[in-house]
A and B are shown apart, each in its own frame.
Chain A
Amino acid sequence: MEPTKLVKMANEIAAFFAAEPDPKVAAEGVASHLKRFWDPRMRAQLLAWVDGHAGAGLVPLALEAVRAKRADLAPR
C-alpha cells in the first residue's frame, strides 16, 4: 500500500489520541488502535516506513507510538 496513505491514517489516529494529556497514555492509545484494527500487512509496511525512512511524515505522537510498541505491532 502507498506509504503516504498509511502515514496519513496513522497521523489521523494520533490526532484523536493527542487530546490525552499524558503522552504515554496517548502513545499507547495509538499503538493499541493500530494493533487492534490494522491488517498485519499494513502494520508491516508502516514499520518498514519507520525503519527505512525514519518515519518521514509521521507526527511525533504516531512515530513515538510505533517506536515504543514496535514489538507488539510486528505481525505475528
Chain B
Amino acid sequence: MRCADEHDLGTPARKDGKPVTLEVDGVPVTVPEGTSVMRAAAEAGVAVPKLCATDSLEAFGSCRLCLVEVEGRRGYPASCTTLVAPGMKVRTQSKKLAELRRGVMELYISDHPLDCLTCPANGHCELQDMAGAVGLREVRYGTAGANHLEQEQDASNPYFTFDPTKCIVCSRCVRACDEVQGTFALTIEGRGFGSKVSAGGTPFMDSECVSCGACVQACPTSTLMEKSLIEHGQPDHSVVTTCAYCGVGCSFRAEMQGAEVVRMVPNADGGANHGHSCVKGRFAWGYATHPDRITKPMIRRSIDDPWREVSWDEAVAYAASELKRIQAAHGPGSVGGITSSRCTNEETYLVQKLVRAAFGNNNVDTCARVCHSPTGYGLKQTLGESAGTQDFDSVEDADVILLIGANPTDAHPVFASQMKQRLREGAKLIVVDPRVIDLVRTPHVEAAVHVQLRPGTNVAVANALAHVVVTEGLAKEDFVRARCEAPAYEAWKAFISDPKQSPEALADVIGVPAETLRRAARLYAGARNAAIYYGLGVTEHSQGSTMVIAIANLAMATGNLGRRGVGVNPLRGQNNVQGSCDMGSFPHELPGYRHVSDPAVRALFEGAWGVRLHPEPGLRIPNMFDAALDGSFKGLYVQGEDIAQSDPDTEHVQAALRSMECIVVQDLFMNETARFAHVFLPGSSFLEKDGTFTNAERRISRVRKVMPPRAGLADWEATVALAEALGYPMRYAHPSEIMDEIARLTPTFHGVSYEKLDRLGSVQWPCNAAAPEGTPVMHVDAFVRGKGKFLLTAYVPTPERTTARFPLILTTGRILSQYNVGAQTRRTENSRWHEEDVLELHPHDAEQRGIRDGDRVSVTSRAGETVLRARIAERMQPGVVYTTFHHPMSGANVVTTENSDWATNCPEYKVTAVQVALASSPAEWQARFAEFLEHQASLLPGAAPAPAPSAAR
C-alpha cells in the first residue's frame, strides 16, 4: 500500500520523447511520446480505474479495469498498455465501459473476503476504491463458489504479512521485486485459477526476499501488509524526512499517529531513491523507541563508579568543569571532540565549532577518518573537491560500470537496485573485489569481468589498467590536453607506461591473469560512458589515498568525467559521511574543505565566531588514542560515535580510553565507548530533531522532527548547552539558523536554506549563485581545481604480510541487515537475519584445518585474538577469510591492526594477516570483555551491584 499522500499516475513517466498532444474526455493534454494513455489521462486530471497499474512499474495490462474507448479504433483497449498518438481522442467513461468494469470487479470481489471494516487496508485499499469507482452494487456470482479464501497466511517475515486470501494476482508485487528491487524472489506459481504469488515455494523468511518492502508498497490490497500498520491502524499524517542509515540517503514519509511512527514509506519524489527502500530504512526504525534508550543525563567521576542520573544542567556543568580543569592542567590541546556521520550537518558543524571556538584547538575528527578520509584527500588533490562527481541517476547513462571494493547490494541496497536496472538494460559490469560479491552473478546480471584480486593490491590493479589504457592508445588525449595539467600528465604517462606497471608484470602480485586485466581495461576505456563506483574496499587500506588518486587518474585519462554516465563515485558508508566532512569535521579543515593554515579562511570564521582560531592541524582519531596513551590528551567529547567498537585494534583503543580523565559520550544507547565515559548525554534519534543530511551524491536533504526528543533536548541543543557552560555562548533558535550560518561561511553552500530545501525537496552542493538549484554533475567544463592533476601512484605492498604463523588474510565488510556497529539494527528484528558475526572461509582453508560449517574458530592476528563461528563459503577465495563488526562481542577489531593509510591514517580494515583454528571456548579477550560488560551494567542506575572485574582492567 503506497502512501495516501502520493498521487499514482498509473505508468512511469517517459522523459525523452517528443511532445504528443491528445484529448482525454475532451481535455487536451501534451505528454512525451511513449507515454501511456492512462498516464496522459492522469496528467489531464482524469483518473482511469486501475488495479494492476502503478507508476513505479511498467504497464502489464492484466486487470482489464482501465479499458477506454479511442475514437476511430475498435474495441476497448487497456489504457495502461496503449500509447498516446497525436490527435488521439480518448473517452474514459461510457455505459459500455462502466458495464465492462463492473463485470471485472464482480469477478474480483466474488473471490475476496468481504471483511473491509476489519481489514488493515480499510480506507486505503485500491480494490475497495475501485469497487466504489465503478459503482459495484452487486456480485451476481455470490461468494460461495470456488475461491482462495481458505489459503494460509505467511507471517514469517518479521515486518510484513502475506495473506493470499486478499490477493487479486495483479503481479504488482512480483514486478516490483523484478523491476524495482531486481531480486526476482517472487513469482506467480501455477496457472489459471490456481495462480498464486509465491516466494519460490517457501515462506518469505526462507526465500531470496531481501525485505526491501517494494512488494508491500506495490500491493493494491492488504495481501502484503506491514505488521506495524496491522498493529496500529492507519496514520493520521505524514512527514517527509531522510533515512538515518547508509549513504544513499533515501527520502521517506514517516507516517504518524500523533507522535508515534506507524510506518516509514519511501518517498516517490525522493531524489536519491525515487520511492524505493531497503530493509533498514523501511522497517528497522524500532530502535528509536527501544527500552535500551538512555533518556537521562548521567555522570560519574571514574569508570568504576556507579552512574548517577542528574539534570541536564548538572551533567553539562560537570562536563564543562572537567574539560576546563584538564585544559588548565595539561594545556589547551589536551581535549578534543569527535563528530558523527550519524548526526546532522548542523550538529557536526556545531561540534567542530565548539572544539575550535570553545576548546581553542583543532582536535576534531569524525568517523569518516575510518572510512572515506582517503576519498577526501585523493579527490581534492586530483580534481579539486573532496566529493563524488555524479548524482545517482547518472548511472542510467553508464555503458560500463567499474565497481571497485564495494558491495552495493548489501551496503547501498537502494542504489544497487538502480545499478542493476541499468545492467539489465545492457550496461557492462567490471567487478574488482577479492570476494564473489552478489553482483558478480545475480538474476539477470553477470559481470563481464571479475578481477578477483588479492586484498591489498588495488593500486597494482589500477596501475595495470592505466598501463593498458596508455600503451594501447585508449587514452582520450583531447580531453586530457584540454582539461588537465600537461606536465603532470606527461610525467604520469611516462610512469604508467613503464613495463613494470603492465598487467603481465603485476599479474602475480594481484593474483589475476594479465589477460583478465587487459580485458577490464579495454572494456572500461572503450565505452562511450564508463563510470567508477567504489567503496571501503578502496579506502580502508594502507594505500587507500593512493588508490583514490589512481581512480581519478584513470577517469581523467579516459575522459570519463564531467557529464552524465561517467565519473568517480565514492559510495559513502553512513548517511552523513559526506556532510560531516563538508562541515569541517577534519582537524586540518574548516567547513568547505579549507585548510586551517589559510589566514583568509581563518579570518572569515574568526569574524563570524568572535574568537582566534588555531592555525595548526589538530589530532586525528588514531593520533588522539596515541596522545592519550602518552599523557598529552585527556578529555574527549564524542557525539554519536562508537570508537570503542568501530576503530581498529580494540585493546589499544580501550587502553587509550581508560587513560583519559573525562570522556563525554552523547548517544542513544550505552554504547561500547560509553562504558569508558564519565559523562553520558542522552542523544536524540533522527525522528526527534530537525536538520539535514548530505548523501553520497552531495544531496542535502531535510531531516524533520516527528516526535519530541525523548531526553528533552535534541543533540544540537546539548552541544549549545555545553558551549554555553564552557563560556562560549551559541545563539540559535532552530537548526535552520545553523544552516544559515553554514551557508554564509561556505561558498559551496551559499545558496542553501531550509526554505529552498522545503521548496525543491533537496539540493546537491555546490549550491550558490552559479548553481542556484544545485549541481548534480561536477567538473562539467573545468575541474574545481582548474586543471585536473595526475599524480604518480607507485604500488607499495602493505606492511601487513602473511607468514607461516599468520598465513591467511582477513578482510572485513558489511551485510545487508545490520548497520555499522549495530547499535541501531541490533535493536530491531533485523537481527533475525544476522544474529552474530561469523567468519567466512573457503572450503579448502576449512578442510585443511578440520573446520566444519558452524564450528567455533579462533582468529588470531598480530594484534589479538577472537573466537567466531565459521561459515564455509565458496564466495571466498582460498587464503582469504572475511567477517563483519556488527556485534561488539565478536571482537572483529580486536584482530585488526593499527596499520593505516599513509595520507589520512584511515585504518587498514581490509588486510590483516591471521591464522584460523578450531576453538573450544571464547577468546581470552572475549571472557575479559564479558566480565567488563557485566561490571559496567552493574553501575547503571537501578542495577544490582556486581564485583569489580579483576582481569578487565
Contacts and interface: CB of A to CB of B under 8 A. Distances in A.
A24 interface: no
B902 A41 contact: no
B792 A1 contact: no
Q: Is the interface of B mostly helix, strand, loop or mixed?
A: loop
Contact of A37 (B627, B629, B799, B903): B903
B189 interface: no
B619 interface: yes
B394 interface: no
Interface in A6-26: 8-9, 12-13, 15-16, 18-21
Interface in B906-949: none
Nearest to A10: B902
Given A1-B627, A19-B794, A37 B632 contact: no
B333 A33 contact: no
Contacts of A57: none
B749 to A, nearest CB: 23
- Which residue of B618, B898, B902 has the most chain A CB atoms within 10 A of its CB atom? B902
Nearest to A40: B616
A5 interface: yes
Nearest to B792: A19
B899 to A, nearest CB: 9
Interface string A19-48: 111000000000001011111111000000
A16 B616 contact: no
A60 interface: no
B884 interface: no
Contacts of B327: none
Nearest to B545: A16
B341 interface: no
B587 interface: yes
Q: Is the interface of A mostly helix, strand, loop or mixed?
A: helix
B794 A39 contact: no
B793 interface: yes
Given A12-B542, A37-B588, A20 B792 contact: yes
B617 A37 contact: yes
Contact of B615 (A5, A18, A76): A76
B397 interface: no
Nearest to A5: B626
B207 interface: no
A76 B616 contact: yes
B495 interface: yes
A58 B881 CA distance: 33
Contacts of B588: 36-37
Contacts of B491: 21
Interface string B341-363: 00000000000000000000001
B208 interface: no
B595 interface: yes
Contacts of A12: 542, 796, 902
A46 to B, nearest CB: 12
A18 B617 contact: no
Interface residues of B, number: 34
A38 B263 CA distance: 47
B630 A1 contact: yes
Contacts of B543: 16
Nearest to A12: B902
A36 B595 contact: yes
A15 B796 contact: yes
B792 A36 contact: no
A2 B542 contact: no
Given A1-B623, A12-B542, A75-B616, A36 B902 contact: no
A41 B333 contact: yes
Interface in A40-70: 40-42
A3 B794 CA distance: 26
B257 interface: no
B546 interface: yes
A36 B617 contact: yes
A36 B632 contact: no
A18 B595 CA distance: 25
Contacts of B629: 1
Contact of B619 (A13, A19, A39, A75): A39
B635 to A, nearest CB: 15
B597 interface: yes
A37 B543 CA distance: 16
Contact of B627 (A13, A41, A75): A41
Contacts of B898: 5
Interface in B616-639: 616-620, 623, 626-627, 629-630, 632
Contacts of A8: 799
A19 B495 contact: yes
Nearest to B632: A41
B902 to A, nearest CB: 4
Contacts of B903: 13, 16, 33, 37
B617 A39 contact: yes
A19 B616 contact: no
B618 A39 contact: yes
Contacts of A2: 626, 630
Contacts of A13: 902-903
Interface string B784-823: 0000000011101001000000000000000000000000
26 contacts: A1-B623, A1-B627, A1-B629, A1-B630, A9-B902, A12-B902, A13-B903, A15-B794, A15-B796, A15-B902, A16-B543, A16-B902, A18-B794, A19-B794, A36-B597, A37-B617, A37-B620, A37-B903, A37-B904, A38-B617, A39-B620, A39-B623, A41-B333, A41-B632, A42-B623, A76-B616
Interface of A: 1-2, 5, 8-9, 12-13, 15-16, 18-21, 33, 35-42, 75-76
Given A12-B902, A16-B794, 11 more contacts: A1-B623, A2-B626, A8-B799, A13-B902, A13-B903, A15-B902, A36-B595, A37-B588, A37-B903, A39-B333, A41-B333
